[in-house]
Structure 1
Amino acid sequence: MYFLTVRGDTRTARDLAQDALTRWRAAYGQDADVTASAMEHLARAEVQLGNYRAAVELDEHVIARRSRLGHEHPDMVTAKLNLASDLMALAANTAGPSARAARRALRLQRWIVAVRTRQHGSCWRARTSAAATCWGRTIPIQSASGIGWPSSCARRDGRTGPNR
């Protein structure tokens, strides 16, 4: 699904994600990890198609499913990152009062930076300082995700990058 979205075939990606969600929900149940994963893929496709409210709703369902993992689990943090990104897109692309969505996104972004700083130390804050400038201009968070991990950010296993 990711490849289809990157290639520009977002409608096919959305249809495939919707089909996977329907099948996996029936086979594994509403709370299964694969079901939440299908919801995440569907939300990414919806936001690419401009269906911001649908993406936010799906993100909130994913967060509800992932809550059993713990508040600071990497999958939960990623789910909240996706929600913050989609709230900013909603705020930037919706006519009328969007300040509420923007404030909620900002609270989530601050929480994410605090969690990642606790998990990864100062290298995470250095990595996100460039992203904060982007957020202030309502550029989606994913656009800042290409910033590489500094080599000084060693994981517990000695490699660089996020602990997963």
Structure 2
Amino acid sequence: MPASTECPPFRLGESRFDQLWEAQKIKQAIIHPDTGEKIPMPFRMSGKGVGLNLLIKRAEHFSPATRILVQRFIPFPAVGLYVRLPLLQKCPRLGLPVHSMVCLCTFGLALPVAISLFPQNSQIHVSELEPEIAAATECKILTYNKGL
């Protein structure tokens, strides 16, 4: 039997089903479900595609200025470093409320800023519209609200 068709060796304590399930989870974390293309490491959103968490762990060895930049610009809820807080180690039941407050503050402060970066109103030339809509107006340029 050729080497490419051989089954992987049996690992003590694991069934073949467990190995296949683990391989399927890794495949789903790496391959985009719609396009079938490989997802670059920082953009993978599961625990199997390490990406941002790996960068945060490595940031502990960077210079203080670089470490602050990396830790500030990576989304805080995705990092999970605040689990090491002494308060959460003493009272693990506070984990959910603390996580909720961090998410609330992050979205409450960052979302309005992100939305304000993009213009709300835009203009479009009538020639770029569908024929039935273009026929309904005499204007050459239309202004519309993007609805953000």
TM more than 0.5: no
Give TM-score scaled by structure 1 length. 0.28
Give TM-score scaled by structure 2 length. 0.30
The structure carrying a bigger helix percent of its residues is 1
Q: Rg larger in 1 or in 2?
A: 2
